[in-house]
Chain A
Protein backbone atom coordinates (compact mmCIF):
# COMPACT_ATOMS: atom_id res chain seq x y z
CA UNK A 1 0.00 0.00 0.00
CA UNK A 2 1.11 3.53 -0.72
CA UNK A 3 2.06 5.25 2.46
CA UNK A 4 4.09 7.73 4.48
CA UNK A 5 6.92 6.20 6.49
CA UNK A 6 8.81 7.83 9.31
CA UNK A 7 12.04 6.58 10.79
CA UNK A 8 12.82 6.06 13.50
CA UNK A 9 9.57 5.86 15.46
CA UNK A 10 11.39 6.77 18.65
CA UNK A 11 14.54 8.87 18.85
CA UNK A 12 16.53 9.81 21.92
CA UNK A 13 19.16 12.52 21.71
CA UNK A 14 21.22 14.56 24.11
CA UNK A 15 20.82 18.23 24.77
CA UNK A 16 22.61 20.11 22.00
CA UNK A 17 23.42 17.04 19.89
CA UNK A 18 22.17 17.38 16.29
CA UNK A 19 19.51 14.94 15.24
CA UNK A 20 17.88 14.09 11.90
CA UNK A 21 14.43 12.63 11.44
CA UNK A 22 13.46 10.94 8.21
CA UNK A 23 10.27 10.75 6.17
CA UNK A 24 9.64 8.87 2.97
CA UNK A 25 6.55 8.46 0.83
CA UNK A 26 5.40 6.10 -1.88
CA UNK A 27 2.47 8.32 -2.90
CA UNK A 28 4.51 10.41 -5.35
CA UNK A 29 3.01 13.56 -3.83
CA UNK A 30 4.40 16.98 -4.63
CA UNK A 31 4.00 18.49 -1.17
CA UNK A 32 5.61 17.31 2.05
CA UNK A 33 5.01 18.84 5.46
CA UNK A 34 6.61 18.67 8.89
CA UNK A 35 4.51 19.24 12.01
CA UNK A 36 5.55 19.39 15.65
CA UNK A 37 3.15 18.09 18.29
CA UNK A 38 4.00 18.61 21.94
CA UNK A 39 2.32 16.65 24.68
CA UNK A 40 -1.44 17.33 24.94
CA UNK A 41 -1.27 19.93 22.17
CA UNK A 42 -2.45 20.02 18.57
CA UNK A 43 0.00 19.53 15.69
CA UNK A 44 1.73 22.72 14.59
CA UNK A 45 3.12 23.22 11.09
CA UNK A 46 6.86 23.90 10.97
CA UNK A 47 7.41 24.09 7.20
CA UNK A 48 6.56 22.42 3.94
CA UNK A 49 8.03 21.73 0.51
CA UNK A 50 6.10 22.21 -2.71
CA UNK A 51 8.32 20.13 -4.96
CA UNK A 52 11.72 21.73 -4.24
CA UNK A 53 10.32 25.04 -3.03
CA UNK A 54 10.79 25.39 0.71
CA UNK A 55 8.16 27.29 2.72
CA UNK A 56 8.99 28.12 6.30
CA UNK A 57 6.36 29.14 8.85
CA UNK A 58 7.10 32.54 10.34
CA UNK A 59 7.42 31.30 13.91
CA UNK A 60 9.51 28.20 13.24
CA UNK A 61 12.81 28.52 15.15
CA UNK A 62 16.05 28.66 13.15
CA UNK A 63 17.12 25.55 15.02
CA UNK A 64 14.88 23.56 12.71
CA UNK A 65 15.96 22.92 9.13
CA UNK A 66 14.71 20.63 6.40
CA UNK A 67 16.03 18.95 3.28
CA UNK A 68 14.23 17.30 0.42
CA UNK A 69 16.76 15.56 -1.84
CA UNK A 70 14.08 14.01 -4.07
CA UNK A 71 10.31 13.55 -4.34
CA UNK A 72 10.24 10.58 -2.01
CA UNK A 73 12.32 11.74 0.93
CA UNK A 74 12.26 14.65 3.32
CA UNK A 75 14.42 15.20 6.41
CA UNK A 76 13.99 17.29 9.52
CA UNK A 77 17.25 18.47 11.07
CA UNK A 78 17.35 19.86 14.58
CA UNK A 79 20.72 21.52 14.92
CA UNK A 80 20.92 21.91 18.69
CA UNK A 81 17.99 20.23 20.41
CA UNK A 82 16.79 21.74 23.65
CA UNK A 83 14.56 20.17 26.26
CA UNK A 84 11.65 22.14 24.80
CA UNK A 85 12.04 20.37 21.46
CA UNK A 86 10.89 17.06 22.91
CA UNK A 87 7.76 16.26 20.93
CA UNK A 88 6.15 14.05 18.32
CA UNK A 89 7.24 15.06 14.83
CA UNK A 90 4.75 14.30 12.10
CA UNK A 91 5.39 14.15 8.38
CA UNK A 92 2.54 14.53 5.90
CA UNK A 93 2.12 14.65 2.14
CA UNK A 94 -0.43 15.93 -0.33
CA UNK A 95 -0.69 15.85 -4.09
CA UNK A 96 -2.07 17.94 -6.93
CA UNK A 97 -4.96 15.57 -7.57
CA UNK A 98 -6.01 15.32 -3.94
CA UNK A 99 -6.92 17.80 -1.20
CA UNK A 100 -6.08 15.31 1.51
CA UNK A 101 -2.98 15.32 3.69
CA UNK A 102 -1.68 11.86 4.51
CA UNK A 103 0.25 11.59 7.75
CA UNK A 104 2.95 9.23 8.83
CA UNK A 105 2.93 7.58 12.26
CA UNK A 106 5.30 10.19 13.70
CA UNK A 107 8.67 10.12 15.42
CA UNK A 108 8.68 10.73 19.15
CA UNK A 109 11.80 12.68 20.10
CA UNK A 110 13.17 12.63 23.63
CA UNK A 111 15.90 15.10 24.62
CA UNK A 112 18.01 14.18 27.65
Chain B
Protein backbone atom coordinates (compact mmCIF):
# COMPACT_ATOMS: atom_id res chain seq x y z
CA UNK B 1 0.00 0.00 0.00
CA UNK B 2 1.10 3.56 -0.73
CA UNK B 3 1.99 5.64 2.29
CA UNK B 4 0.25 8.82 3.31
CA UNK B 5 1.41 11.97 5.07
CA UNK B 6 -0.94 14.01 7.23
CA UNK B 7 -0.42 16.89 9.66
CA UNK B 8 -0.29 15.71 13.25
CA UNK B 9 -2.98 18.10 14.44
CA UNK B 10 -5.31 20.86 13.31
CA UNK B 11 -7.76 23.21 14.95
CA UNK B 12 -11.04 24.47 13.58
CA UNK B 13 -13.71 26.81 14.90
CA UNK B 14 -17.17 25.39 15.35
CA UNK B 15 -19.39 26.12 12.36
CA UNK B 16 -16.47 26.68 10.00
CA UNK B 17 -15.25 24.33 7.32
CA UNK B 18 -12.47 21.93 8.30
CA UNK B 19 -10.05 21.11 5.49
CA UNK B 20 -7.82 18.14 6.23
CA UNK B 21 -4.97 17.55 3.76
CA UNK B 22 -3.31 14.27 2.86
CA UNK B 23 -0.32 13.57 0.65
CA UNK B 24 -0.07 10.23 -1.15
CA UNK B 25 2.54 10.89 -3.80
CA UNK B 26 3.27 7.19 -4.47
CA UNK B 27 -0.35 6.18 -5.07
CA UNK B 28 -0.82 3.73 -7.94
CA UNK B 29 -3.57 3.65 -10.53
CA UNK B 30 -5.77 1.06 -8.86
CA UNK B 31 -5.54 2.45 -5.33
CA UNK B 32 -8.37 4.31 -3.67
CA UNK B 33 -8.19 7.07 -1.08
CA UNK B 34 -10.22 6.31 2.06
CA UNK B 35 -10.96 8.50 5.03
CA UNK B 36 -11.93 7.17 8.43
CA UNK B 37 -12.17 8.95 11.73
CA UNK B 38 -11.92 7.76 15.31
CA UNK B 39 -13.59 9.61 18.12
CA UNK B 40 -11.92 9.04 21.46
CA UNK B 41 -12.48 5.51 22.85
CA UNK B 42 -14.68 4.47 19.92
CA UNK B 43 -14.10 2.29 16.87
CA UNK B 44 -13.08 3.95 13.60
CA UNK B 45 -15.89 5.24 11.43
CA UNK B 46 -15.90 5.30 7.64
CA UNK B 47 -16.33 8.76 6.15
CA UNK B 48 -15.78 8.68 2.41
CA UNK B 49 -13.59 7.28 -0.33
CA UNK B 50 -12.67 8.03 -3.94
CA UNK B 51 -10.51 7.00 -6.87
CA UNK B 52 -10.18 9.96 -9.23
CA UNK B 53 -13.27 12.10 -9.03
CA UNK B 54 -14.33 14.34 -6.20
CA UNK B 55 -16.89 12.74 -3.94
CA UNK B 56 -19.52 14.09 -1.58
CA UNK B 57 -21.80 12.42 0.92
CA UNK B 58 -23.82 13.48 3.95
CA UNK B 59 -20.71 13.64 6.12
CA UNK B 60 -18.02 15.24 3.99
CA UNK B 61 -16.50 16.04 0.63
CA UNK B 62 -13.34 14.55 -0.81
CA UNK B 63 -11.27 16.54 -3.25
CA UNK B 64 -8.57 14.59 -5.12
CA UNK B 65 -6.00 16.44 -7.21
CA UNK B 66 -5.78 15.63 -10.89
CA UNK B 67 -2.43 13.87 -10.47
CA UNK B 68 -3.93 11.96 -7.48
CA UNK B 69 -0.89 12.72 -5.34
CA UNK B 70 -2.87 14.52 -2.70
CA UNK B 71 -6.39 14.94 -1.41
CA UNK B 72 -8.40 17.07 1.00
CA UNK B 73 -11.24 16.00 3.24
CA UNK B 74 -13.72 18.80 3.83
CA UNK B 75 -16.16 18.91 6.73
CA UNK B 76 -18.35 21.82 5.61
CA UNK B 77 -19.67 22.92 9.00
CA UNK B 78 -17.59 21.42 11.78
CA UNK B 79 -19.24 20.73 15.13
CA UNK B 80 -17.74 19.84 18.50
CA UNK B 81 -18.68 16.21 17.81
CA UNK B 82 -16.32 16.19 14.84
CA UNK B 83 -13.33 16.32 17.18
CA UNK B 84 -11.50 13.09 16.35
CA UNK B 85 -8.42 11.56 14.75
CA UNK B 86 -8.86 11.50 10.97
CA UNK B 87 -7.06 8.82 9.00
CA UNK B 88 -6.29 9.06 5.30
CA UNK B 89 -5.61 5.58 3.93
CA UNK B 90 -4.66 4.45 0.45
CA UNK B 91 -5.47 0.89 -0.45
CA UNK B 92 -6.21 -1.38 -3.35
CA UNK B 93 -9.92 -1.99 -3.19
CA UNK B 94 -9.86 -5.12 -5.32
CA UNK B 95 -13.10 -6.70 -4.18
CA UNK B 96 -13.98 -6.86 -0.52
CA UNK B 97 -10.80 -8.48 0.72
CA UNK B 98 -8.78 -5.35 1.28
CA UNK B 99 -6.70 -4.21 4.19
CA UNK B 100 -6.50 -0.88 5.96
CA UNK B 101 -3.07 0.23 7.07
CA UNK B 102 -3.60 3.11 9.47
CA UNK B 103 -1.01 5.86 9.75
CA UNK B 104 -0.80 8.35 12.60
CA UNK B 105 -3.69 10.46 11.31
CA UNK B 106 -4.61 14.07 12.08
CA UNK B 107 -6.12 15.03 15.41
CA UNK B 108 -8.79 17.58 14.55
CA UNK B 109 -9.95 19.69 17.47
CA UNK B 110 -13.09 21.71 16.92
CA UNK B 111 -13.23 24.66 19.28
CA UNK B 112 -16.35 26.48 20.47
Contact = CB atoms under 8 A, between A and B. Distances in A.
A29 B95 CA distance: 13
Interface in B1-57: 32, 34, 36, 38, 41-46, 49
Interface residues of B, number: 24
Given A42-B103, A42-B104, A42-B105, A99 B98 contact: yes
Nearest to B32: A99
Contact of A45 (B32, B41, B95, B100): B100
A87 B66 CA distance: 40
A42 B43 contact: no
Contact of B97 (A4, A31, A97): A31
Interface of B: 32, 34, 36, 38, 41-46, 49, 87, 93, 95-105
Given A92-B44, A103-B44, 5 more contacts: A42-B87, A42-B102, A43-B38, A45-B101, A99-B49
